[in-house]
Amino acid sequence: MSKVVAIVGATGAVGVEFLSCLDHRKFPIKELRLLASARSAGKALPFKGKPIPVQELTERSFDGVDIALFSAGSGISKKFGPIAVKAGAVVVDNSSAFRMDKDVPLVVPEINAEAIKTHKGIIANPNCSAIISITPLWPIHKVNRILHMNIATYQAASGAGAAAMEELEASTRAYLDGKDYAPKVLPHPYAFNLFSHNADIDLATGYNGEESKVIAETRKIFGDPDVRISITCVRVPVLRAHAVAVTFQCEKPITEKEARDIIAKAPGVRLVDDRAKNYFPMPRDASGGEDILVGRIRQDLGDPTGHSIALFVAGDQLLKGAAQNAVQIAELL
């Protein structure tokens, strides 16, 4: 049955990908409402070859809406999410506003689709780094519980939005031209540089907000509060698609072949693991694709007990890390 769908934050980087995903995946739409701030009202975005006007987001925007896809920041979600639910919509929210709320399911369809049944009007879309890091690990966790994950992320500009992507392009151009470029979106020069993720640092623990999100969200999605997670999140000068290095320790011994065979059959992932050609997951190959690429699967030589595997993944932050995951949730609804 066709649905009335609203996109909140339609003009942002993820909002534009919502449109692409809905079209590509042939989501049954009766009416599409594009919602954004007053300054974006009146613009038009293409959908199925036709321009759709952007409307100003107001408290009356959700009358008659069945599903509302939010990607406009936590403040907007906290204010307008409950309003949308009261109007009769189910909200799929891409911000961090509701992720750790005990009454809000946090869903990766390949991992915990059944959690959708418990929703009370709002379903949270997880952090992009969490989705890309743990989706390939879930099928292993189901058969051989993962006790510890050691994660290092290499996060693209797309994770900080369209403005950060523009800053990377502009700063790179300036660098190559020998000109100065003062960063405006990110805290450090971006061209030919990398730095600790720009989320706020907890001065007591030394962990930034991105790292804390991945730890807490993984435990909630896996339904395992005891899984131990070590993580370092880094921003790298890549336009689109995050990459992640993961080493995980299982409860029972696990071989490289066992890990590869399980991952090869897992939904939402694709093996890219050619040792002979030194060809493994890369952001350029993951960009624009629906699958999370997985490779460099190998025994962790730092664990002589044979309980640990190392691997490398790459996934499109704007797609599986954001818009695509939300649309998959909408499909299940």
The strand pair at 122-124 and 90-93 is best described as parallel
CATH code, domain with 35: 3.40.50.720
pLDDT score for 1: 82
And the tokens for 320? Answer: 């599986």
Please count the other Cβ atoms lying within 10 Å of the Cβ belonging to residue 75: 10
CATH code, domain with 219: 3.30.360.10
Show the domain range for 89. 3-125+322-332
- The answer on 279 and 145 residing in a single domain is yes
- The answer on 214 and 118 residing in a single domain is no
pLDDT score for 25: 95
pLDDT score for 275: 97
Please provide the average confidence, as pLDDT, over all residues in the chain: 96
* 318/9 Cα distance (integer angstroms): 14
pLDDT score for 42: 87
CB 34 within 8 A of CB 69: no
Kindly report, residue by residue over 44-74, the tens digit of the pLDDT: 999 998 999 999 999 999 999 999 999 999 9
- The answer on 142 and 65 residing in a single domain is no
Instruction: Work out the average pLDDT over 238-262.
Output: 97
Kindly report, residue by residue over 8-20, the tens digit of the pLDDT: 999 998 999 999 9
Catalytic (active-site) positions: 128, 242
- The answer on 149 and 36 residing in a single domain is no
Query: Based on the structure, what is the number of domains in the chain?
Result: 2
Report CA Rg, the chain.
Answer: 20
pLDDT score for 233: 98
pTM of the model: 0.94
